[in-house]
Amino acid sequence: MKVRLSAAALLLPLFLAVACAPEEAPPSDTAAQPTEAAAVGAESTAPAVPVAPVAGPLGVVDIAPGDPIKIAYMLVVAGDNQTLGQDAKRGIELAIADAPELLGHTVELTGEDSGCNAEGGQAAATKLAADKTIVAVIGSSCSSESVPGAPIISDAGLTMLSPSATAPILTNPDSRAAGFFRTAHNDKVQGKVGADFVFTGLGLKKVATINDGSPYSAGLVEAFEESYKALGGEVVAHEAVSDKDTDMRAVLTTIAQSGPEFLYYPVFSAGGGYITTQKGEIAGLETVPGMGADGMFSPDFIEAAGDAVDGMYLSSPDFSVFGSAYKDKFLPAHMAAYNESPISAFHAHAYDATNIIYAAIQKVAVQDPDGTLHIDRQLFRDAIAATSGFQGLTGNLTCDANGDCADPVLAVYKINLSDVEAGKGLTEMEKVWPTE
Amino acid sequence: MRRSTTGEQLATAMRWLTAIAVVGVLIYGPFQILRSGKYGPENWIAFVIFGLSQGSLYALIALGYTLVYGILRMINFAHGEVFMSGAYIGFFAADALNRAGRLDSTGGALLGLAVITLVAVAGSTTIAVLLERIAYRPLRRAPRLVPLITAIGASLFLQYTFSGLFGSGLRTYPTIDLLKGSFRVGSVPILKVHVLVFVAAVGLMTALYLFVQRTRAGRAMRAVSEDKDTAALMGINVDGVIVQTFMLGGALAGVAGVLHALIYGQVVFNMGFQPGLKAFTAAVLGGIGNVPGAMLGGLFLGVVESLGPALFLEGLGIPAPHQLKDAIAFSLLVLVLVFRPTGILGERVAEKRA
Amino acid sequence: MAVLTPYGRRGLIVGGVIVFLGLVGLLEAFSTRSIINVLRTAGGKPVAVTLLSLPELLALIVAFVAVRGLLPARPRALDAFGAVGCGAAASAVTAAFVRLGPALGAGGDGFELRDVFIHATPELFEVLGSFAWHLPLAALAAVAVAFVRPDVRRAVTAGAIAVALVGVLSDHVTILLDHNGVPRASTAWFLRGKSLTVAGAATLFGGVAALRWLGERFRPVADRRLAARPARDRRWLRRGGIALAGVALIALPRFAGSYHSEVLNQVGLFVLMGLGLNIVVGFAGMLDLGYVAFFALGAYTMGVLTSPESFLAAATVPGGQPVGPVGFWLALPVCIVVAVIAGTLLGVPVLSLRGDYLAIVTLGFGEIIRVLALSEWLKPFLGGSLGLKRIPPIKVPWLAIGDGCAARGIDVPLCVYRLAIDGPDKPQKLFYILLAGCVVAAFVALRLKDSRHGRAWMALREDEDVAQAMGIDLVRTKLMAFAIGAAFSGLSGAIFAPKLVSIFPHSFNLLISINILALIIVGGMGSIPGVIVGALALVGLPELLREFAEYRLWAYGIVLVVMMLYRPEGMIPSTATLRELRPDDDASPGDAASPSPAGPGTAVAAAGAEARA
């Protein structure tokens, strides 16, 4: 009885609230507020500013003198996948360390952990969207975060650049959020390069693939297989492991029975290390060459694979043009700041994303004589979309209509033990594809 | 004789039906795959060998669960992290020795392995003892779920402490030339490390069994396991025995950590959770609180994981069967427990648990 | 002199803990995170200078708590000396580390402390070096607090906690102020960036301390007056209170804004699951470590039924009629039924299992479900690791009333309370759905608890054999607990899927099960308010602390351990649990209702029921 009464008591105020709650701002107030602020800002400084900032549909960020320009990260910096996000975050930090000030304002990095899962992406995106002082977001780490996260960020008028979310769906014109861009490679591009190289470059017609159950790996394998089959090749084994597995010998034994000529396993450094070292122990696979993708393009993988790395192929951005900056500037700076070599593969993409944001801010920001900055969100997004021929660590970046900004020119590198022992960096490995 | 209710009869019937269905699958799958001739005998032997080496590691870790459970009736969820700490701390010893060039000669490598193991064991034992002292001892008489939660908390704390102290990237053990390569038995190659791991694990487990059964300290341990209060009345230092138990479990986990690193090469801050879970499963499978049971459970689980996907699933036409090895392992666990509710060898826990 | 020895020892420990915090990276990572700052002019420009940073705050708290715990109830002058000595000893430890740490690498053998401890950077030594005076100061504060009157002490402590909390959670304060249209200029005297100003900190401290003091002063008077009123008045007062709470809950999302509504929604999902697991574990005493399985089943069933991308959307029934995706409300009961069936099916084979055997089998069940969802085998149906996408958001007709009449320009009273939301999928709207779900679930759980089934479950929990001997049908009782528990979790999953729009197998890992278990135990096992408080503490708080990234999980671990050590019965324990932990109170049930925080010694001095069994 008591309980039933309290339930009634709960319902009653609902009607009360409906009846007497105060009138509140129009529903579009989220968009309206910044606009008003911008109008006020423009008005007060109108005489001095030659081009008064006209607020675009997404509003304007105003940065008062002494306030920082805020860039936010939305990366997985905690939990099982934290290396992925921490690596990218370091790339951002190094880019900011290179240019701590922009147009007279300091650049401040804030951000949220997004957990490498959909719910973490949603929560982090909602929080970032609530902060009206953020100019741009770098993230997400995983594609699963961006699927719910990108629309939230985008609807809030923000623009995001992902250094490592590679799933094709994110830049599919049907489903893409308008504010989503990425410096990471679309799986379709990288999968195709791998397939071309194996089929045409090496002339091998029978491959086996392994993915580790992460969306990155599964997506890349899917794209690879599609391109490879289209070329006329045969996928003789399609296997999967779990990202926590350490013993790959059983799955490799199964694969060996189908007699593949080549093994494609675009996973991460740890899993890549296990597969590469254990592959040599399995009868029938000792001499079968293997190939990974940019998730394994890291010194950690080379170390984890040990001697077995000899003859391994890795697809990655083509460093032959831009590689020297990476090796001569970025890596030493990284070592000095964090005392370890990069822990995953997307720091350079994050570094480039940060610099693209810098360039776009410089392009669209309007500055008052007292130092106040106005950044129109729509113009900023357009400026990012118009990025063209941007020379970054990961190549020559141009954003296409769907938000894919990564250099479409990918290379395949061959890792020779002699090069590793000679102390050569990853970017100085033998480039085997595309052939000139 | 009590009459069973209709509900119970129904449940029993369903249990049998499920079991028959599962057993049917377990027979049909192997029949298909064996008929297809995809794998030769040497492949099957190889699967078993891989499974035994992984299983040895599970067994060593499982002993820690079983020992602690036998005495305290609690699941030490943080035991996987004790294993991780052993492997991680051993890495620093291995790395230092390698940089000094001490691992190259045969004698040096043997001595080096001993040093690495000692350092790892010292590290993991310290952590196990601290864990007992700080997180479990004050809760010895609390309801059983309370120490379970502290154990989970301690597990997270240890993981992220290691990630904070030493970084979240992976670290690679130096390769020891002495352990590279394989023997050939007939047409089947067997890796040297696998032999080492198996021999070390079986040796340690035998030693532990003898310790528990034959020595005075072992007898004290069994006494405490039977009844703490009576044991205390008999003049046994219960706290001391419990600490000893944690030390033993920690030491075995430390050895397992080094052996794991020797087989797989890498250590990382979150490497302990999954093997810890598997080892716990193994302990339950064998009959918790039972030392030979943990041994058997570990080896069984290792072999099922390695052999199961190819043997049971591939014949059914299931794609990428190795991805499902955990599902097979857990399904078999359920099947075993349904018919033997206290594990394969039965539990050795004196008190009835509510 | 012997009195001083423990202080010295404690000081060394404090120093060690602070060095440890440094090596873990906590101090360096947040060395620029300011709690209180002050404006100074430098070169003609105003610059915010940190007065108290987060690492300093942490050091102060560690030293304060350590010294406070050591001081006797009636401290003497010698204790004051000891406490200051304790602070000094701690300072000495950090100073020694700052001096010796960098020197370790100077040996010339190429070894650096940084090679092992990655955070032993020059910045860390700098941060630690700045702590010299903080630790003795905190010790002194602890002594000072020990000497003042208890009511003043509690007031001062409350004020200090408020300042620390607001300082740490400042970005949430900003977001809330922004959302409610408070111009930033009008709060600048209080908050500057992420940091409190001196004036803000002082106001907050003074205000909270005064409130606490006044509250303590006048609470007894108010209680006495209330007790003097007739019972009927008191009943109405309570109803009024409940009604007020209801109004507050309904108005909450309007003021919380989208982000904080989102946080509440996450808490809501976990409250739902917590209520369900509470039935299985808290009422019936069956340890279930695979509870996430039903959550996953609910979410995947919803996804498969409603996503236009699922295989069902393309399938046709034998008559040639396309099956097509159905709406949320149609799919919802299906999700719950699927979860219930799965709960019963899981229950059957494990009926004869007890304790930890049950735990490991359920854990296995959870993993099997996750692995299957991830598998290539079921990929055509469940999407594998690439997930199920484009699950439509929930459409609630009556919640759109406000939007509808706004669009038509009608100003009727019903339209006045318009939800500040423009889309159908915004967190604010979802809040009401989750609120409704939680209210229903809590109601069901409450009624079940006092029903015949509830008593049967509790009998089961205490002793299975005796329960059976008393004529309780074990099979039915156990299966019912599993089924109802699964239903709540399935409901939670069914809301989770459209909330996220897309579901991936990675969302359903073991940590979710562990988190739910932890929250019902931290909240107080078997207690329904405990579930809500537990979810707020273990789901809401970590969400608010998202800013602190990897240290969140680290701190979560510490909180679990500390909480269990100092309050094993949970935050709002049920009376049964209390009785179990403190059998001395059995004689006077009135006392059991007002728990007092107890040290580990007293709380666990008595044997638990199972230890007795």
Q: Report pLDDT digits (tens) over A291-314.
A: 999 888 888 889 899 889 999 999
pLDDT value of position A27: 39
Residue type, C366: G
Please return the burial class of C471, using the count of CB atoms within 10 Å of its CB with bins 0-12, 13-18 and 19+: exposed
Domain boundary among C123, C147, C171: C147
For residue B93, being part of any structural domain is answered with: yes
For residue A270, which residues of chain B lie inside 8 Å, CB to CB?
170, 266, 268
Whether the CB of B318 is below 8 Å from some CB of chain C: the reply is yes
What confidence category does residue A36 fall into, taking pLDDT thresholds of 50, 70 and 90? very low
To the nearest 10 degrees (0 to 180), the angle between helices C292-306 and C328-347 is 140
What's the mean pLDDT in B65-77?
A: 88
Taking an 8 Å cut-off on Cβ atoms, the answer to whether C389 and A7 are in contact is: no
What confidence category does residue A67 fall into, taking pLDDT thresholds of 50, 70 and 90? confident
pLDDT at A284 exceeding the cut of 80: yes
Whether the CB of B39 is below 8 Å from some CB of chain A: the reply is yes
For residue B349, being part of any structural domain is answered with: no
Longest dimension (CA), chain C: 94
Looking at the DSSP bridge assignments, the partners of residue A290 are A263
Asked whether the beta carbons of C541 and C518 are under 8 A apart, the reply is: no
Taking an 8 Å cut-off on Cβ atoms, the answer to whether A66 and C543 are in contact is: no
Whether the CB of A253 is below 8 Å from some CB of chain B: the reply is yes
Choose from B334, B339, B342, B344 for mutation: most chain C CBs within 10 A.
B334
Domain boundary among C98, C119, C147: C147
For residue C190, being part of any structural domain is answered with: no
Residues 194-253 on B with a CB inside 8 Å of C are none
- Supply the CATH number for residue B126's domain: 1.10.3470
Contacts with B165 (C-beta within 8 Å, 6 or more apart), sequence order: C23, C24, C25, C117, C118, C119
Instruction: List pLDDT tens digits, range C389-436.
Output: 888 888 766 555 555 555 555 443 444 344 433 444 478 888 888 999
For residue B89, being part of any structural domain is answered with: yes
C116 and C263: one domain?
A: no
For residue A273, which residues of chain B lie inside 8 Å, CB to CB?
170, 172, 265-266
- Model pTM above 0.90: no
Range of the domain at C405: 244-315+323-573
pLDDT value of position B243: 95
Identify which of C526, C520, C517, C519 has the alpha carbon closest to the alpha carbon of residue C578.
C526
> C25 in the Ramachandran plot: left (φ > 0), alpha (ψ -120 to 50) or beta?
left
Q: Which of B168, B264, B273 is facing A86, going by the closest CB pair?
A: B168
Taking an 8 Å cut-off on Cβ atoms, the answer to whether B149 and C522 are in contact is: yes
Identify which of B262, B250, B290, B204 has the alpha carbon closest to the alpha carbon of residue B80.
B250
pLDDT at B253 exceeding the cut of 90: yes
Taking an 8 Å cut-off on Cβ atoms, the answer to whether C352 and B338 are in contact is: yes
Burial letters C162-183, b for 16+ CB under 10 A, else e? bbbebbbbbbbbbbbbbbeeee
To the nearest 10 degrees (0 to 180), the angle between helices A82-98 and A331-338 is 110
pLDDT at B354 exceeding the cut of 50: no
3-class secondary-structure state, position A107: strand
Return averaged pLDDT per consecutive 10 residues of chain C, 613 residues in all.
75 91 88 86 76 89 87 81 86 88 63 80 85 82 84 91 92 87 85 88 94 91 86 89 89 84 94 94 90 95 90 75 80 94 87 81 91 91 87 70 53 42 63 91 92 90 86 88 94 93 89 92 90 93 84 90 89 74 47 39 37 35
Instruction: List pLDDT tens digits, range A88-116.
Output: 999 999 999 999 988 888 999 988 898 88
Whether the CB of B264 is below 8 Å from some CB of chain A: the reply is yes
- d(CA C64, CA C61) in angstroms, rounded, equals 5
What's the mean pLDDT in B160-185?
A: 87
Q: Which chains touch B (3 or more CB pairs under 8 A)?
A: A, C
pLDDT value of position B74: 86
Residue type, C313: A
Asked whether the beta carbons of B79 and B249 are under 8 A apart, the reply is: yes
Chain B's closest residue to C115, CA to CA, is B166
Can you list the positions of beta strands (E) in A212-355?
Answer: 234-240, 262-264, 290-292, 312-317
Choose from B330, B332, B351 for mutation: most chain C CBs within 10 A.
B330
Whether the CB of B138 is below 8 Å from some CB of chain C: the reply is yes
Q: Which of C117, C356, C521 is facing B75, going by the closest CB pair?
A: C356
How near does any CA of chain B get to the CA of C556, in Å? 7
For residue B312, being part of any structural domain is answered with: yes
Taking an 8 Å cut-off on Cβ atoms, the answer to whether A239 and B320 are in contact is: yes
For residue B1, being part of any structural domain is answered with: no
Lowest mean pLDDT among A251-255, A266-270, B91-95, C351-355: C351-355
What confidence category does residue B142 fall into, taking pLDDT thresholds of 50, 70 and 90? confident
pLDDT at A12 exceeding the cut of 70: no
Residue type, C59: A
Higher pLDDT, A390 or A37: A390
- d(CA B253, CA B86) in angstroms, rounded, equals 7
Mean pLDDT, chain B, whole residue set? 88
For residue C387, which residues of chain A lie inside 8 Å, CB to CB?
118, 144, 147, 215
Taking an 8 Å cut-off on Cβ atoms, the answer to whether A14 and C250 are in contact is: yes
- d(CA B112, CA B92) in angstroms, rounded, equals 12
Mean pLDDT, chain A, whole residue set? 83
- Look at chain B and report how many structural domains it folds into: 1
Q: Which of A273, A283, A344 is facing B265, going by the closest CB pair?
A: A273
pLDDT value of position A183: 92
3-class SS string, B12-69: HHHHHHHHHHHHHHHHHHHHHHHHHCCCCHHHHHHHHHHHHHHHHHHHHHHHHHHHHH
User: CATH number of the domain at A207-317+411-433, please?
Assistant: 3.40.50.2300
pLDDT at A231 exceeding the cut of 80: yes
Size of interface A-B (CB pairs under 8 A): 99
Range of the domain at B180: 41-339
3-class secondary-structure state, position A112: strand
Sequence length of chain A is: 436
pLDDT value of position C412: 39
Q: Which of C359, C561, C611 is facing B153, going by the closest CB pair?
A: C561
Q: Is the peptide bond before A258 cis (omega within 30 degrees of 0)?
A: no
Chain C's closest residue to A131, CA to CA, is C175
pLDDT value of position C404: 53
Q: Which of B11, B69, B341 is facing C353, going by the closest CB pair?
A: B341
pLDDT value of position A40: 40
- Look at chain C and report how many structural domains it folds into: 2
Whether the CB of B101 is below 8 Å from some CB of chain C: the reply is no
User: CATH number of the domain at A60-184+346-405, please?
Assistant: 3.40.50.2300
Asked whether the beta carbons of A298 and B204 are under 8 A apart, the reply is: no
Asked whether the beta carbons of C413 and C404 are under 8 A apart, the reply is: no
Q: Is the peptide bond before A50 cis (omega within 30 degrees of 0)?
A: no
- d(CA B245, CA A46) in angstroms, rounded, equals 78
For residue B27, being part of any structural domain is answered with: no
Contacts with A386 (C-beta within 8 Å, 6 or more apart), sequence order: A399
To the nearest 10 degrees (0 to 180), the angle between helices C427-449 and C231-277 is 100
pLDDT value of position C3: 61
- d(CA A356, CA A184) in angstroms, rounded, equals 13
Instruction: List pLDDT tens digits, range B304-353.
Output: 999 999 988 888 888 889 999 999 888 888 888 877 888 888 766 544 44
pLDDT value of position C508: 92
Domain boundary among C101, C120, C147: C147
What confidence category does residue B17 fall into, taking pLDDT thresholds of 50, 70 and 90? confident
